[in-house]
Amino acid sequence: MKRIITISILLFCSLAGLFAVNVTPYYDPFDSMDDVFTSPARLVEESGVTHFAFDVEAFSGIDLLAYLSNPAFLEEFSDRLYRYYRNADLSFWSEGAYSEFRNAFSFDDSDTLPQRPVDDLTLAQMRAYLDDSFSRRFDSAQKASAVLSASGSSTAAAAFSDDVLYSDLNLSLGFRGGAVYGNGFGWQIESNMGFIGNRNMLEDRMNLLAVDVRADVGYAIHLFSDRFSIGGSLELLAAMNNYISNHNFLGARFNDDVVSMFSENFKFGLGFGVDFGSMYRHNEELAFTLDFVNLVSLRKYYDLELTDFVDYNGFDEDEAVYYQPMDLVLRAIWDSGPYHIMVEFSNVIDQIFWMKEIDGYRYDFFSIPKFSFAYDINEDLSIRTRLGFSRLSLGLDYKSFSIEVSSALDEFGFGIKAGMRF
């Protein structure tokens, strides 16, 4: 008992010392809450071997698809930019604001561009230039170019504060394999790669290009009786990340130059995570689980600068320690013959962390409840549906093959996911 207390004190002191240094939250797009290792107490009831499985997923908003097919789509936001500059007064036109204005309209003849407004006369000349240019001089491509440049500026980006170029882009591919032995013990090896976009491409946000390899091991036991079980899991991970700004992503398509997307360092790191869970089985059909996911989830990165791909001079240590905010997940699981229902409440705690870290982040109560339903038509075929995070998905499982289509409920976007297990 003394040894356990000593180890607990040392662990607490280590974590306290860790959080005394620079710590930064991170979001793991491949951390699936549907994974049994994030609800490890269920390992006492699971069994099976997956020699190899893969999943491929693609989701995107229609706005982004329209832009990728025709970059002149940005012209739709040019009226907002016109009104923003048109209504600006003299106090707005500092040297920095004027420099960004000239950069946004650099495609125009430099002799045509008005001088920086410093009095009523030059302000009137600026407004006359805007009236004439947006009404009859600029074509679609030029207006789109001005919007693109302004969206990446520190001043004119405010023009699009009420506009949304809906993305939620998710292009991902995952591989996995593992075994759960039926005695509470299980393991899994998984690899993921993908490009994860944020919701609004007109905001000053980052998209994530990520590749990782992770190994999970978990163990669960019955406690007190066969009705109650507890379990824990450990995840070890090696990852590579690169963050790409919205402006760079849009600009790479606009200029047909993929390389221009990359301006940030590539991050290579190692990490680990610990989950703990409990399960109470009320009867053969109904069970409840309570899981502490990301109870501890830490990563340490080393940076590789873009110039190192040409002139390598070694990795630079990222002084920050990255942690994934913990969360509490409560589920009710009901299985009766061919019917399977799961009701979940999660993302209650982690949103509090993100509200403090991300400017403008609003607590989303609608992301807390999730619901899924599945019906087994026969031994080989089942259909399922899931509602959560303002998305509705419909899926079909046939033997080892699965396919799912999904749609956003609050914006115009859709996706498809397919996978196979061997």
Q: What DSSP line would sit under 65-102, residue for residue?
A: HHHHH-GGGGGGGHHHHHHHHHT--GGG--HHHHHHHH
Average pLDDT over residues 34-40: 92
**66: amino acid identity, one letter:** A
Crossing angle (nearest 10°) for helices 140-151 and 95-104: 140
Percent of the chain at pLDDT exceeding 70: 95
Percent of the chain at pLDDT exceeding 90: 82
Q: Are 383 and 374 in contact (CB under 8 A)?
A: yes
Q: In this structure, are strands 206-223 and 266-281 parallel, antiparallel, or unpaired?
A: unpaired
d(CA 235, CA 238): 10
How many CB atoms within 10 Å of residue 333?
20
Is the pLDDT confidence value at 259 over 50?
yes
**Would you place residue 161 in the very low, low, confident or very high pLDDT band (cuts 50, 70, 90)?**
confident
Tokens at 45, concatenated: 């009831």
Average pLDDT over residues 342-367: 90
Report the Cα–Cα distance between both ends of the chain, in Å, rounded.
45
**Would you place residue 358 in the very low, low, confident or very high pLDDT band (cuts 50, 70, 90)?**
confident
Tokens at 227, concatenated: 């009705």
**343: amino acid identity, one letter:** V
Dihedral pair phi/psi, residue 121, rounded to 5° = -65, -50
Average pLDDT over residues 85-95: 94
Lowest average pLDDT, out of 260-269, 350-359, 405-414, goes to 350-359
pLDDT of 21 reads 58
d(CA 243, CA 236): 22
d(CA 242, CA 261): 10
pLDDT of 10 reads 45
Coil, helix or strand for 155? coil
Average pLDDT over residues 149-159: 90
pLDDT of 5 reads 42
Lowest average pLDDT, out of 145-154, 306-315, 378-387, goes to 306-315
Q: What's the pLDDT tens digit per position in 93-149?
A: 999 999 999 999 999 987 889 999 999 999 999 999 999 999 999 999 999 999 999
Q: What's the pLDDT tens digit per position in 201-238?
A: 999 899 999 999 999 999 999 999 999 999 999 999 99
pLDDT of 19 reads 46
d(CA 372, CA 394): 10
Mean model confidence pLDDT for the chain: 92
Q: What's the pLDDT tens digit per position in 310-352?
A: 888 889 999 999 999 999 999 999 999 999 999 999 999 999 9
Crossing angle (nearest 10°) for helices 78-86 and 120-132: 160
Burial (Cβ within 10 Å: 0-12, 13-18, ≥19) of residue 257:
exposed
d(CA 33, CA 346): 9
Dihedral pair phi/psi, residue 263, rounded to 5° = -135, -15
pLDDT of 4 reads 41
Dihedral pair phi/psi, residue 62, rounded to 5° = -65, -35
Is the pLDDT confidence value at 357 over 80?
yes
pLDDT of 22 reads 77
Average pLDDT over residues 358-386: 93
Residue identified by tokens 């944020």 is 198
Residue identified by tokens 């690169």 is 242
Coil, helix or strand for 338? coil
